[in-house]
Amino acid sequence: MGLNVLNGRIKDEGKYRLKAALREIVERYNTPVLISPNQNVFLSEIDPANVNHIERILDVNGVPYKLNEINDIAINHMSCPALPTCGLATTEAERASPDLI
């Protein structure tokens, strides 16, 4: 199951509580987490019997996981990953990109 991570930051912000959802899923179901090159997260080795339970945790925490819930730009969006060389660019990309998307 793939999860879009806005700006490559796993955090809780308002109704969007990705950090809390991931913590609960990993602790409860011992699900391995993989990071994609696009700064997104994949939950792997999910027992089919647990899929509905995991989807419910994501729903309760406001985490979109269905393709029709995430716009196409957000799926491929990344903030500047070169923090040591362009910290200001990273800050501006994180600040501005959610509104632009």
Q: What is the mean pLDDT of residues 77-97?
A: 62
CA 64 distance to own-chain centroid = 8
Say if CB 24 and CB 57 are below 8 A apart: yes
- Residues 60, 62, 28, CA angle at the centre, nearest 5°? 50
Q: What is the pLDDT of residues 29-73, one digit of tens each?
A: 999 999 987 788 999 999 999 999 999 999 999 998 887 777 777
Q: What is the mean pLDDT of residues 18-32?
A: 95
Q: Which residue has the higher pLDDT, 21 or 95?
A: 21
Of these ranges, 5-14, 46-55, 86-95, the one predicted with the greatest mean pLDDT is 46-55
**Spatial separation of the C-alpha atoms in residues 9 and 18, rounded to whole Å:** 9
Q: Which residue has the higher pLDDT, 89 or 5?
A: 5
Domain spans in the chain, listed from the N-terminal domain onward: 2-100
> Which ranges of the chain would DSSP assign to H, the alpha helix?
18-29, 51-60, 72-76, 87-100
CA distances 5 to 19, 49, 87, 95, Å, are: 10, 25, 19, 15
